Amino acid sequence: MKKVLYVEDNRANRILIGRLLDSQYDLVFAEDGETGLRLAEEIQPDLILMDIGLPDFDGQTVGAMIRQIPELKDVRIVALTAWPEAAVSELVSRYNFNGSISKPIDVSTFPALVESYLNDAAPN
């Protein structure tokens, strides 16, 4: 099973994403950025879903630090955020993320989107 790390401080969101993805992937949660950084290095996930608004460090900071780890320099990182599209595009580009998914997520399309990122076939 592919490993997906979801970094998210909001418990309700973790429950929702768990329900959507838990049966298909080895899903691991981190509630804050520092834990996300540690778990990323420990488990070497196939995909990291990164909430941008985290309580200790911003998601973009955590993502950037993950990219500095040699084994994770190419790991797929996808931002989850409600930011306006232009700001998200800038974030994805500047912080070398692989893409973004808007919050609130669309539960009907979210699992397919995640699969497309894992297959490197996500839409631009």
Partner 1 sequence: MGREILNTQSAINYSIEELTEAYNQTRQDYIVPMPMTPARLQAYVDAYDVDLKSSCVVLDEEDSDLIIGLGMLGRRHNRSWITRVGVLPYTRKLGAGGEIITHLIETSKRSNIQFTWLEVIYGNDPAQRLFMRNHFKQTRELMVLRRPPMTTITDRKLLAMPAIVEECDKEDAISEFAESSEIPNWLNQAETLRNLDDLLVKRIVFQSGWEGRLFYELTTLQIKRVIVQVINGPAEQVTAASLAWLHQEHLMPDAVCENFEVNDPRIKGYLRAGYFESFRRVEMVRRNH
Length of the chain: 124
Q: Is 57 in the site for partner 1 (CB under 8 A)?
A: yes
Chain centroid to Cα 38, Å, comes to 14
Q: Which two tokens stand for residue 77?
A: 């990182």
**Hey, how many other C-beta atoms are within 10 angstroms of the C-beta on 89?**
14
Q: Is 56 in the site for partner 1 (CB under 8 A)?
A: yes
Binding window for partner 1 (CB under 8 A); candidates: 15-23, 40-48, 86-94, 108-116: 86-94
The beta strand positions in 20-115, using DSSP E, are 26-30, 47-51, 76-81, 99-102
Q: Is 60 in the site for partner 1 (CB under 8 A)?
A: yes
**DSSP run (H or E) holding 73:** none
Q: Is 46 in the site for partner 1 (CB under 8 A)?
A: no
Binding window for partner 1 (CB under 8 A); candidates: 9-17, 18-26, 38-46, 112-120: 9-17
Query: In the complex, what is the shortest distance from the CB of residue 12 to partner 1, in angstroms, rounded to a whole number?
Result: 8
* Among 120, 112, 104, residue whose Cα is nearest residue 24: 112
Q: Is 82 in the site for partner 1 (CB under 8 A)?
A: yes
Positions that interact with partner 1 (CB under 8 A): 9-10, 12, 32, 53-58, 60-62, 64-65, 67-68, 82-84, 87, 90-91, 94-96
